[in-house]
């Protein structure tokens, strides 16, 4: 315990010094809200790819996915093809076209494309609300891990996370965050790649691990979930990735649409390495410690009892950096909903750049603090919270974003109908399926309801097409 603590604090100190330097350098270049939110549109493909990977790799991966593999075995790995399919959809139908469109946020795009301020306000409020769920998951994971390993009270760990992430998010905006995300994804990959050989050495071999896990429960190495369940999970993750505002907003910071496509390819590479590593880690931890009651503690147990101190420390810093990068991405997109879409575009469109920047930073303070209240309650495991928010994101945004970028159809009424229809459909089916066993996922119902609402309302309103996509629609 003493060795891991000493090693961790040394590695963490170096890491935080690097973050501080990047943050203060980035702060010096921020003069306008646009620079704060888009980094002057200067981010290249390797940094951009690391940003996309870092924003998606979170506590849901480092704690929740390891825990899910620990509990349910191999079959959860089939969620990753859904994630990658979502990135393919984004590379073909979303990222380059949205970058060419030129708007700053997803609510801004929907408002301009469909000539609807209601779409702007509704989507901004939705982003703020649903991403609070994702923030709760990140704070909860931080509390669980650092309580298990260092005996730190969860509230203390959460406050440390809040303050450290707030500082580099509020100081340097997207520019600093992008370069910090690049550093963070390198730490995550290094930590995972070094941890896996230690785990395999302890279990003997992958073959021996598989045989032993089969004796515990044949579903661990077979099929824990039904095909319909896996399809539902994959669909919600994939389609939420394709239309996730906290990923989409990062396209606005990249140089051009060619950079966006290359960045998505780089993201694939990072995620393939990470997905393979967390699978082995979850299975190996189950083989070594078959009876952990809370699967979210699998990562902590692995660090405390299996990994060498330096490797364990690097993994912990990788975990912390993954949480911070995800929290940072969410804070940026949620705060932009308040400062850019609600305050700057709706309440005070003539306000100065200085006041907009101030509102952005105050919004980050507020959004950093509120999730702690709920995270302390531990309503559910981390991965379940992540799955919940992906379902709502996919149901609310997928149809509006995809159709808005790739067709001329749609009116101000149909876009509002699509968003509300998707949200209501997903919410209804989430409640229904919690009381009745059904193979149909809530995201499937939400997306279907969203599409039906869009086309039905579009036909009823009989208005002309929305604003054409610049360079994409004639």
Note the pLDDT of residue 258.
87
Burial tier of 28 (Cβ tally within 10 Å: 0-12, 13-18, 19+): exposed
Note the pLDDT of residue 251.
81
Note the pLDDT of residue 34.
67
pTM: 0.75
Note the pLDDT of residue 455.
94
Segments in 204-339 forming alpha helices (H): 206-216, 227-243, 245-251, 257-288, 298-305, 309-336
Low-confidence ranges of the chain (pLDDT < 70): 1-5, 26, 28-31, 33-34, 58-60, 168, 171-172, 379-383, 462-474
Q: For residues 262 and 46, what is the distance between their CA atoms, to the nearest angstrom?
A: 8
Q: For residues 384 and 386, what is the distance between their CA atoms, to the nearest angstrom?
A: 5
Cβ neighbours of residue 447 closer than 8 Å, sequence gap 6 or more = 235, 239, 394, 395, 398, 399, 422
Cβ neighbours of residue 240 closer than 8 Å, sequence gap 6 or more = 86, 389, 390, 391, 393, 394, 397, 398, 443
For the chain, which domains are there? Answer: 2-378 (1.20.1730.10)
CA-wise closest residue to 277 among 203, 211, 200? 200
């Amino acid at each position: 315990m003493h060795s891991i603590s000493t090693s961790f604090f040394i590695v963490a100190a170096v890491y935080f010094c690097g973050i501080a330097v990047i943050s203060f350098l980035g702060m010096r270049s921020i003069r306008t809200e646009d620079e704060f939110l888009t980094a002057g549109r200067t981010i290249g493909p390797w940094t951009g790819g690391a940003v996309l990977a870092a924003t998606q790799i979170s506590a849901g991966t480092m704690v929740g996915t390891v825990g899910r593999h620990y509990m349910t075995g191999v079959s959860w790995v089939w969620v990753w093809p859904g994630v990658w399919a979502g990135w393919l959809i984004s590379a073909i139908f979303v990222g380059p076209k949205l970058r060419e469109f030129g708007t700053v946020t997803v609510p801004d795009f929907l408002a301009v494309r469909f000539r609807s301020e209601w779409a702007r306000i509704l989507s901004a409020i939705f982003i703020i609300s649903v991403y609070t769920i994702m923030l709760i998951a990140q704070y909860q994971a931080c509390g669980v891990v650092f309580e298990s390993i260092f005996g730190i009270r969860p509230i203390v760990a959460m406050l440390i996370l809040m303050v450290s992430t707030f500082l580099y998010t509020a100081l340097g905006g997207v520019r600093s965050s992008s370069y910090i995300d690049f550093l963070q994804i390198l730490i995550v990959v290094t930590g995972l790649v070094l941890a896996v050989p230690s785990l395999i050495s302890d279990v003997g071999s992958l073959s021996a691990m598989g045989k032993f896990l089969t004796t515990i429960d044949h579903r661990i190495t077979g099929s824990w979930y039904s095909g319909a369940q896996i399809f539902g999970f994959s669909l919600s993750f994939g389609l939420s990735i394709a239309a996730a505002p906290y990923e989409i907003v990062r396209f606005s910071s990249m140089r051009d649409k060619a950079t966006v496509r290359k960045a998505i390819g780089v993201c694939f590479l990072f995620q393939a390495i990470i997905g393979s590593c967390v699978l082995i880690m979850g299975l190996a931890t189950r083989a070594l410690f078959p009876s952990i009651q809370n699967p979210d503690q699998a990562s902590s147990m692995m660090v405390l009892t299996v990994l060498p101190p330096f490797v364990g420390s690097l993994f912990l810093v990788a975990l912390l950096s993954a949480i911070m990068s995800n929290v940072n991405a969410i804070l940026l997109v949620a705060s932009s909903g308040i400062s850019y879409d609600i305050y700057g575009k709706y309440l005070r469109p003539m306000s100065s750049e200085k006041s907009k920047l101030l509102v952005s930073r105050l919004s980050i303070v507020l959004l950093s603090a509120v999730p702690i209240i709920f995270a302390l309650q531990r309503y559910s495991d981390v991965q379940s919270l992540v799955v919940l928010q992906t379902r709502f994101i996919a149901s609310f945004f997928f149809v509006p974003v995809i159709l808005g970028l790739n067709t001329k159809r749609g009116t101000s009424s149909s876009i509002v109908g699509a968003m509300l229809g998707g949200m209501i459909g997903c919410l209804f089916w989430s409640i229904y399926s919690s009381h009745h066993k059904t193979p149909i996922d809530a995201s499937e119902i939400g997306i279907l309801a969203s599409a039906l609402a869009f086309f039905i309302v579009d036909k009823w309103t009989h208005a002309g097409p929305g604003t054409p996509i610049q360079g994409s629609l004639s």
